[in-house]
Amino acid sequence: MIMTAMPTRSDRWTTLRPWLGLAARLGLAAVWLLAGASKVGDLAASGRAVNAYQILPYDVAVVVGAALPFVELALGVLLLLGLATRLVAGVSTALLVVFVAGIVSAWSRGLAIDCGCFGTGGELAAGQSPSYLPEILRDLGFLALAGFLITWPRTPVSVDAALAGDPTVEDDDE
């Protein structure tokens, strides 16, 4: 009778981790691509949404709002390709922290706005109430994906793995 060793937790994690990373990478790519695509058609509305937070001067908010969809699309494409994944995850983390801080700031100051995360956003009509907590929790989930990719950036089906000549995606020491 031949006895085979049971896979250890470490073995299972080593096998599963790259595929979880792929799911995190593609999920975060989808978020950025959807967010950017929903705003790129109306850059003025994106600028108004940033201005609704009442943090930046109007002219700066309009420029940030116009640039943001292109930044989001670039992050999405880079993640989709798996190119510079750790760097892109770090930039994603910084951007998501800014988004969460903006939502918390608007909530704490009693502003009634739509975050504009996946569309036009801006001030809500009288009688409408904002949904800040779900927006914050959603962004914290996206932060978890980015954090996973900062820690374990190499994933299957990625330019990073191909450039490293690492089809097994075992080594995350970049």
Q: Is the pLDDT of residue 174 over 50?
A: no
> What are the residue boundaries of the structural domains of the chain, listed by start?
18-154
Q: Tell me what the mean pLDDT of segment 154-162 comes to.
A: 92
DSSP label of 146: H
Q: pLDDT band at 82, cuts 50/70/90? A: very high
DSSP per-residue letters across 39-95? HHT-HHHHHHHHHTT--S-HHHHHHHHHHHHHHHHHHHHHHHHT-SHHHHHHHHHHH
Q: Is the pLDDT of residue 147 over 70?
A: yes
- The reported pLDDT for the residue numbered 9 is 79
Q: Distance between terminal CA atoms of the chain?
A: 43
Q: How far apart are CA 114 and CA 129, in angstroms?
A: 9
Decide: helix, strand or coil at residue 6.
coil
pLDDT in tens, 109-137: 999 999 889 887 888 888 888 999 999 99
- The reported pLDDT for the residue numbered 173 is 47
Q: How far apart are CA 20 and CA 24, in angstroms?
A: 6
- The reported pLDDT for the residue numbered 1 is 59
Decide: helix, strand or coil at residue 129.
coil
